[in-house]
Structure 1
């Protein structure tokens, strides 16, 4: 494990962060870049959208705290989080999970100068933590699962993304018990980003019950933005333990008064629909698209990296004698197909992701198949050209 401070410098030739690449993909073309859902609404979801004028009138009349608690309860209970601290003052709603992340980073910086962060993970997490002056140390998924990472004394917090993006790894229930006990024993804060939780039933054990029983200080970030194609109408939730000594509520109040009650009412409806079969439909869509991806790539030199993952992104491993991830990304983007190179996910060692790209799966199956064909064809053409040149 190596220590990292300040902004990292890419060693794979990449420029800009992953979000800037995702923003470029919004300009047009075949967008398999960001992990946000971009498939068509289901029939029942369309009915909810059609009811927005009615929900607006309801939002005008109801007490905000009731609307907020209902949305939190419906969403979190629907994904197994029965012990979430709803209506305790220790669960607040943010515009997005990134806002909740930044509040968390600011609060952690009042406690410690050093945070152990899972490696790899989406690069806006290390960017936000570093942006608040924190020094980061990479820790592997395997170390976190064992629950006894070897950390220097100055590390005051452990930050975990589960399910992880881009690998799909899930910290098991027993793994969380071990890790939470370790943090309680060593006086470290345990922070968790669980934004893909609803996509993977393996992550839906009651995290809050385990964290509360452990006696550790903890923070959890949840998100609705990875689930439903609602054009970025979403919310992030920020929760913390009763004995967590961080100024989270103070920093939350510095950022916002409240999210829109209309958005919260919409989230309640979508969460109810999800619990009535919508989550199963989403999970089946992702499963089918991962299978379709694997079928298109079968026989090619591009491999599906994490076949057991269940989240709505998939890593692909490129052949050693083919183009690297940045070169392939740039070539595809010129022709209007947008994926992500995986170097920036490896925020401490960009070179670890040199031979991998990431494709989003919360899309129509036809888009996933087209993108897979384009990727396989581009790699094949590069390999053929290299053989002819040799």
Structure 2
């Protein structure tokens, strides 16, 4: 089948996402493609003003306004005590590349959560960092996570976790901070570097919750860490975004030297724009983001839950939906290729299971950050396609 051949030759999720941009219904990438809210449209109308404002203030002022707004919005005030050691980069993948460079320079072995978004694995693989999978189920209970890590992470130097996890929504913080505290304690006691990808952490707030101050916990325990955060999966910014990277004091000088070898600064105009979106969400309690995701998630469940697909309820609802394929005779690759004939592009689960791709053939991922009317058309099309599926 020509479609199947064309899809199977992709090496990673990003290559799929590039192809998906050409389809009518792109449910592949988790970037934000929904409309602007009323107040966000007002920000767009102010773009000339924000341009000249950025031009008229120092780079440092633009950076610090963004840092103060972002970390306050997320409830991570402890990090602001070292606000000059929060480094800004123009994409989360750059922060990950900086982290991978640090790991490679020190010949560190890494335990990487599985499943997870595949470019984490790919960046580390390309830097020739030795990897061991850590099943995300290790992190589901505070009562035995320490003991489980003693076994699973004994032979690694660093533990790399994503929270909430993409694509499953698994989180150490879903029921408070206890599990995270145990992970941090284990890393401190056993000399492990803890690397945290918090790029989906805004969805704690989108789900109506709040974030634990992770930086305060880590510094109180004395855990060595590198933490990455992002704006690109949260607001409808057309990829006008900024990511952050911060490290514990002991390793900060080493991280800083890698940061400065990569870039000088993020555009002050972009920082001004993104800061306005953060403040807007502070004012509306994240309603503009939350409402779109809630509507689309409900539509996906209503149209797709059935004998073919099963919606897997996450610990933390994010901007993606993770579905299990219930038919044993249909793989994720099969289903993706079939839906392409209906001009719908979804992601197969195999790329998230980086050490055992076959385990991911039971799952597909749908992106939710879309215009609700277009998203409903997409899932209605999927539902019709599934009714007509004959294998």
Question: Same fold by TM-score, threshold 0.5 exceeded?
Answer: yes
Give 1:228-307 correspondences, 5 Å limit: 228-244=235-251, 247-277=254-284, 279-306=286-313
Q: Take 1:307 and 1:163, find their aligned partners in 2: how far apart are those partners? A: 9
Is residue 340 of structure 1 aligned with residue 347 of structure 2?
Answer: yes
- For residue 71 of structure 1, what is the aligned residue in structure 2? 66
Residues 245, 141 of structure 1: CA spacing in aligned structure 2 closer, same or farther, 3 A cutoff? same
Matched, 1:37 2:41: no
Which range moved further: 369-378 or 155-164? 369-378
Cα distance change of structure 1 residues 312 and 371 upon mapping to structure 2, 3 Å threshold: same
Q: Contact conserved, 1:81 with 1:205, CA < 8 A, in 2?
A: yes
Following the alignment from structure 1 to structure 2, what is the Cα–Cα distance between the partners of residues 372 and 335?
Answer: 11
TM-score with structure 2 length normalisation? 0.90
Q: CA deviation at 1:245?
A: 6.2
- Paired residue for 2:220, among 213, 216, 219? 213
Pairing of 1:128-139 with structure 2 (within 5 A): 128-139=123-134
Distance in 1, Cα, partners of 2:316 & 2:371: 19
Which residue of structure 2 lines up, in the alignment, with residue 107 of structure 1?
A: 102
CA 1:245–1:41 in 2, change beyond 3 Å: closer, same or farther? Answer: closer
Query: Displacement, 1:323?
Result: 2.5
Instruction: Give 2:4's aligned residue.
Output: none
**Separation of aligned partners in 1, 2:116 and 2:377:** 26
**Secondary structure in 2 aligned to 1:216?**
coil
In the alignment, what sits opposite 1:9? none
Q: Could you tell me which runs of 5 or more consecutive residues in structure 1 were left unpaired when the two chains were aligned.
A: 1-11
Q: Report 1:1-390 matches (<5 A).
A: 15-85=10-80, 88-145=83-140, 146-148=145-147, 149=149, 150-151=151-152, 153-172=154-173, 173-201=177-205, 202=209, 204-244=211-251, 247-277=254-284, 279-306=286-313, 309-382=316-389, 385-386=390-391
Moved more, 293-302 or 188-197: 293-302
1:351-386 per-position Cα deviation (integer Å, ceiling 9, x unaligned): 11112110001112223322222323323322xx35
Deviation at 1:86, TM superposition (A): 5.9
Q: How many residues align?
A: 373
Q: How does the TM-score come out when normalised to structure 1?
A: 0.91
SS in 2 for 1:155: coil
What is the Cα deviation at residue 14 of structure 1? 6.4
Bigger shift: 232-241 or 142-151? 142-151
Aligned-partner Cα distance in 2 for 1:299–1:23: 30
Structure 2: 5+ residue runs without aligned partners? 1-6
Q: Secondary structure at the match of 2:237?
A: coil
Verify the 8 A CA contact 2:67 2:83 in the aligned structure 1: no
- Matches of 2:239 and 2:330, distance apart in 1: 34
> Which stretch shows the higher mean deviation, 127-136 or 301-310?
301-310
Mapped partners of 1:187, 1:299: distance in 2: 47
Secondary structure of residue in 1 paired with 2:157: strand
The C-alpha deviation readout for 1:3-48, integer Å capped at 9, x for no partner, is xxxxxxxxx9663200110011112311111001100001111111
For residue 3 of structure 2, what is the aligned residue in structure 1?
A: none
Structure 2 CA distance for aligned equivalents of residues 153 and 289 of structure 1 = 42
- Deviation, structure 1 residue 69: 1.1
Q: Give CA-to-partner distance per residue, 1:100-146, whole Å, 9 cap, x none.
A: 00001111222333100110000000101111111111112232342
Which whole-Å CA distance do the structure 1 matches of 2:112 and 2:9 have between them? 22
In structure 2, the residue matched to 1:6 is: none
Secondary structure of the residue aligned to 2:229 is strand
**1:322, distance to aligned residue in structure 2 (A):** 4.5
Looking at structure 2, the residues matched to 42 and 343 of structure 1 have their Cα atoms a distance apart, in angstroms, of 35
